[in-house]
Amino acid sequence: MIFNKVKTLQGEIAVPGDKSISHRAVMLGSLAEGTTEITNFLQGADCLSTIRCFRQLGAEIEATASSNTVTIHGKGLHGLLPPQEVLDVGNSGTTMRLISGILSGQSFPVTLTGDESIRRRPMGRIIEPLRRMGADIESLQHNDCAPLFINRSKLSALKGIHYNSPVASAQVKSCILLAGLYAEGETTVTEPFLSRDHTERMLKEFGAAIHANGNTVTITPNPHLTGRSIPVPGDISSAAYFIAAGLIVPNSELVIKNVGINPTRDGILHVCRRSGADIRYENVSQIGGEPVADIIVRHSDLHGIEIGGSIIPTLIDEIPILAVLACFAKGRTVIRDASELKVKESNRIDVMVENLSKMGADIIATEDGMLIQGGKPLHGAVIDSKSDHRIAMSFAIAGLMAEGETEIHNAQCVDISYPEFYEDLKRISKN
Ligand code: S3P
């Protein structure tokens, strides 16, 4: 797909539903008693993988391609059925890690696999704590990666643990908390920095006994979850591409409607404001236990900043687009404490550095991040997205500001989290 320079960006966008929240709504809806209605569900490939897996586990899920409303007739915590075939999570790390927690508490065996990218990503980080809880889980190739085989626990029930996670990962935390639904006694997770807390918020909405205190969260099992309505806010990780584009393309002004601004996800807004961005909220409200707002962004003169420490988990998926933004900021941007980027859908440090360098940027990779000297004009190049949706979207935005053509290979991988991304971008692009 080819991208060219645009003059300005103007208009209003409603980004699709939040990916993390959509996954969790399908999972908890399937485990609840009664009906759960999810509105503004993200029809991205990852969330459709979660629906497919839960259907294989016997959940009754009404979902069609033409509607973003999904209705689930829950099976109850102990109502899932053994699947006839291997569960395939596709490209979705969230599905793989969260479902493993749930499946560790079931009374049947199951094999989980996924695409080539998922089979390279680290699963030792969930295998180890789940085993401590008494789960019978193994990596079939003995390399701490998928495929995973999960058998019924040899214990009568999993046992609660206090897990001090070495990584600030919502996927690890959520996996353990979901296993905790099936454990005897309390399950507690402490993480080095607070990661996204959608699982905690939604479990509370479904009636679970869960209590958070700083970076520590504890779940006490109770006999059932209760189905409910879940309105899904727009995904701030998808909005991030338009926020960045609005800031760097001259004379732009964009309104992004109904975006989730959960404080464990809004790091992108903090760092943009710190570098001089004109970003405002309107219509701030609360839906389904999550804060939302319309975001108004205007073209701004940005300066380089340092990004590291506890803010990293709150903007982890936005670092690729932040690297693009840094190329247009005056001075140096330092991104550190972000080595988790190496184990995402692609190695996002290497892929960003390689491709932005091709476009003429002054960027180098460090052990745990990147150094970017802003202000060098970008020129078009041929970009391999490595089939990573966040890489493809980041370079589509870089292409709007580059001299000449930017050609993105495997551009359709945006289907993972934002199938209509290119149409929405085209609609607001003015020449
Ligand atoms: C996610 C958590 C993050 C994020 C991923 C979605 C989630 O991963 O990168 O896109 O829904 O829990 P980690 O928690 O492993 O950092």
Among all chains, which residue has been given the structure tokens 């759960």?
36
H or E segment at 197?
Answer: none
Mean pLDDT by 10 residues, the chain (431 residues): 97 98 98 98 98 98 95 98 98 98 97 97 98 98 98 93 98 98 98 98 97 97 95 98 98 98 98 98 95 98 98 98 98 98 98 98 98 98 97 98 98 97 98 91
Nearest ligand 1 atom to the CA of 195 is 14
Q: Of 317, 384, 388, 415, which one is the catalytic site residue?
A: 317
- Substitution candidate for ligand 1 out of 20, 91, 123, 173 with most atoms within 8 A of CB: 20
H or E segment at 58?
Answer: none
Q: Tell me the per-residue pLDDT of 125-172, one tens digit each, with 9 for 90 and over.
A: 999 999 999 999 999 999 999 999 999 999 988 999 999 999 999 999
Tell me if 326 sits within 8 A of 246, measured CB to CB: no
Q: Is the CB of 385 under 6 A from ligand 1?
A: no
- Substitution candidate for ligand 1 out of 91, 102, 167, 171 with most atoms within 8 A of CB: 171
Cα-to-centroid distance, 315 and ligand 1 (Å): 10
Of all protein residues, the one whose alpha carbon is nearest to atom 5 of ligand 1 is 94
Nearest ligand 1 atom to the CA of 313 is 16
Nearest ligand 1 atom to the CA of 24 is 11
Residue 317 annotated among the catalytic residues of the structure: yes
Name the burial class of residue 367, with classes exposed (0-12), middle (13-18) and buried (19+) by CB atoms within 10 angstroms of its CB: exposed
CA distances, 409 to each of 88, 107, 390 (Å): 25, 44, 13
Cα-to-centroid distance, 171 and ligand 1 (Å): 5
Q: Is the CB of 171 under 6 A from ligand 1?
A: yes
- Substitution candidate for ligand 1 out of 196, 262, 264 with most atoms within 8 A of CB: 196
pLDDT in the model for residue 224: 95
Q: Is the CB of 22 under 6 A from ligand 1?
A: no
Separation of CA 186 from chain center:
27
Q: Is the CB of 316 under 6 A from ligand 1?
A: yes
Q: Is the CB of 20 under 6 A from ligand 1?
A: yes
Tell me if 25 sits within 8 A of 68, measured CB to CB: no
Give the max Cα distance, the chain.
66
Q: Is the CB of 49 under 6 A from ligand 1?
A: no
Cα-to-centroid distance, 55 and ligand 1 (Å): 23
* Beta strand extents in 121-228 (DSSP E only): 136-139, 148-151, 158-159, 162-164, 183-184, 187-190, 209-213, 216-220
Q: Is the CB of 290 under 6 A from ligand 1?
A: no
